[in-house]
């Protein structure tokens, strides 16, 4: 086996194509990596409920980093570690979304909440994991970013140029992968991480090989060790073939 022992893959914009599908090439090379003893894990901003259809589809039994690191799973449906948001944070973040008239979503242990299913009475009894804002109004988004930064309580990233994703300070895809490495006995220098957005930045910087997608945000490309092809061009297969199984 070569230098790298673990491949951490973002989902949207990375593993998945524009139709939210896993290509045959990506699936086949993931299986080849697994057969060669490589740990292949998904590291995503999604809640785990939206990850399971894909792990079930390709038969992945490996750890999962979900909700940008707020949950780490030993394997599908077996929790390893969870980091919660304070209820008061969620209350204030929701108030900001109303103030600036943005779309919002909030991941909890049970699922995802947004403008269409928000129930204020459930705020105190819900275990919260992440909050997100979406607006195409750059001025509003920048004002939200300034306010959030001033709190000093959060990791602030995005999964799209028009959104902001908020996790507790110190929690990221990188912290989640570090938990997986401790579990499996790998070091971060043995990790290849692939992503396309700023919520992938921490793992791209921390990995032994940080790979930005050809469709990645420019800031991520500048931070990466390598820029590969787009999510429409079977990038995961390419990285496994050219940099892991060599």
Which are the catalytic amino acids? 10
Which DSSP letter does residue 202 get?
H
**CB neighbours (10 Å) of residue 114?**
13
**Which phi and psi angles does 216 have, rounded to 5°?**
-75, 160
Residue 92: Cβ-neighbour burial (10 angstroms; 0-12, 13-18, 19+): middle
Residues, the chain, total? 246
Beta bridge partners of residue 107, listed in sequence order: 112, 130
Half-sphere exposure of 60 (CA within 13 A, CB side): 30
Beta bridge partners of residue 133, listed in sequence order: 104, 164
- Identify the sign of the CA torsion 28, 34, 40, 46: positive
Hey, is 105 helix, strand or coil? strand
CA distances from 236 to 61, 68, 130, 202 (A): 18, 20, 27, 19
C-alpha–C-alpha distance, residues 209 and 184, integer Å: 18
Which DSSP letter does residue 70 get?
T
């Amino acid at each position: 086996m070569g230098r790298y022992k673990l491949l951490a893959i973002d989902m949207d914009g990375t593993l998945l194509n524009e139709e939210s599908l896993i290509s045959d090439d990506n699936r086949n090379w993931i299986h080849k990596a697994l057969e060669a003893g490589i740990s292949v894990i998904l590291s995503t901003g999604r809640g785990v409920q939206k990850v399971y259809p894909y792990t079930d589809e390709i038969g992945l039994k490996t750890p999962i980093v979900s909700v940008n690191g707020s949950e780490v799973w030993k394997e599908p449906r077996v929790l390893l570690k969870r980091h919660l948001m304070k209820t008061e944070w969620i209350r204030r973040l929701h108030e900001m979304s109303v103030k600036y008239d943005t779309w919002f979503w909030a991941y909890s242990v049970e699922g995802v909440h947004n403008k269409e299913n928000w129930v204020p009475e459930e705020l105190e009894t819900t275990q919260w994991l992440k909050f997100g804002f979406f607006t195409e109004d750059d001025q509003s988004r920048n004002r939200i970013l300034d306010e959030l930064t001033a709190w000093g309580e959060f990791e602030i990233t995005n999964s799209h140029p028009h959104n902001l994703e908020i996790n507790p300070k110190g929690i990221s895809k990188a912290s989640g992968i570090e938990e997986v490495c401790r579990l499996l006995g790998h070091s971060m220098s043995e990790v290849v991480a692939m992503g396309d957005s700023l919520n992938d930045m921490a793992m791209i910087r921390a990995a032994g090989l940080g790979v930005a997608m050809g469709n990645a945000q420019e800031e991520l490309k500048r931070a990466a060790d390598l820029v590969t092809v787009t999510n429409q061009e079977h990038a995961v297969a390419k990285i496994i073939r050219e940099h892991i199984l060599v």
